[in-house]
Amino acid sequence: MVVEQINPDSYKRIVFFTGAGMSAESGVPTYRGKGGILDKYNWQEVASQEAWEKHPKKVLKFHEKRRTEGLKCKPHSGHKVIADLEKFHPNVWIVTQNIDGMHQQAGSKKVVELHGSVWRVRCPKEGRVWEDSKKTKYSRQKCKCGSWLRPDIVWFSDYLDTKVTDKADEVISRADLFISIGTSGLVWPAAGYPARAKSAGAFLVEINPEPSEQSNYYDKVYPGKAGEVMPQLFGVK
């Protein structure tokens, strides 16, 4: 596969739109496909409001396991390319569906987390959110009001936070370069973002070993892995 190098200076506003495949080479499982989480777990049983109300301890145990596994994972060269680019380019944003905090671990600061983060907790009663120490167990945490704290993430059937989607809309509607990495493009509203970037006039690049639902929107499609294509795309040795 020949990867045409991108000169970031030719673009004013760059958006990286990432999904689970971005973290796959770091060791974080994807949702769908081979080894995907959805093959092993019934999502409604461990990550939905209904499950939380029925058996909160089971839900917390599932997310605790994911955090523990996540602690063993480290960002790869693809995450680092984006984080380094943000240091010298004034307008680089990440809009991610990932909840693993891997972009921030690599050093990225301008990250819009559409589906929240396992590294934050939320009081379901008061709605307050705060950063959580990586070692603390969810199941041992209660808010001052007495409620068990839940991970600050979007579960099946949850609405997305409109402040977060407004920010994503704002950065995408101004993008002139939109690079999608590792998403199947099946989950809304994120699935509509490539079309939005296209209508805003951005140049669209997709990196994914498999075709996605939106592959036809992209100006360039690289059927490869994030950690391999990203350094080539930005000429990093």
115 annotated active-site: yes
CB of 57 to ligand OAD, least distance (A): 20
Residue with Cβ nearer ligand OAD (35 or 235): 35
Q: Say whether residue 231 binds ligand OAD (CB under 6 A).
A: no
Residue with Cβ nearer ligand OAD (12 or 210): 210
Decide the pairing of beta strands 150-153 and 116-122.
Answer: antiparallel
What track of x and - describes contact with ligand OAD for positions 55 through 94 (by CB under 6 A)?
Answer: ----------------------------------------
Among 36, 56, 107, 124, binds ligand OAD (CB under 6 A): 36
- Please work out, in degrees rounded to the nearest 5, the angle formed at the alpha carbon of residue 22 by the alpha carbons of 180 and 218: 15
Q: Say whether residue 164 binds ligand OAD (CB under 6 A).
A: no
Report yes or no: 207 and 230 within 8 Å, Cβ to Cβ: yes
Question: Phi and psi dihedrals of 156, rounded to 5?
Answer: -55, 135
Token pair recorded at residue 78: 């693809």
Q: What span, in angstroms and rounded, lies between the C-alpha atoms of 47 and 144?
A: 24
Q: Say whether residue 184 binds ligand OAD (CB under 6 A).
A: yes
CA distances from 133 to 49, 110, 126, 130 (A): 24, 21, 20, 10
Residues contacting ligand OAD: total by CB under 6 A: 26
Q: What span, in angstroms and rounded, lies between the C-alpha atoms of 219 and 130?
A: 39
Scanning residues 97 to 136, which ones bind ligand OAD (CB under 6 A)?
A: 97, 115
**Edge-to-edge strand list for the sheet holding 220-222:** 111-113, 92-96, 14-18, 177-181, 203-207, 220-222
Residue with Cβ nearer ligand OAD (35 or 201): 35
Question: Phi and psi dihedrals of 211, rounded to 5?
Answer: -65, 145
Among 11, 16, 31, 203, binds ligand OAD (CB under 6 A): 31
Among 182, 193, 206, 218, binds ligand OAD (CB under 6 A): 182
Among 30, 104, 117, 232, binds ligand OAD (CB under 6 A): 30
Applying CB under 6 A, which residues contact ligand OAD? Answer: 19-21, 24-25, 30-33, 36, 97, 115, 154, 181-184, 186-187, 207-210, 212, 225-226
Active site residues: 115
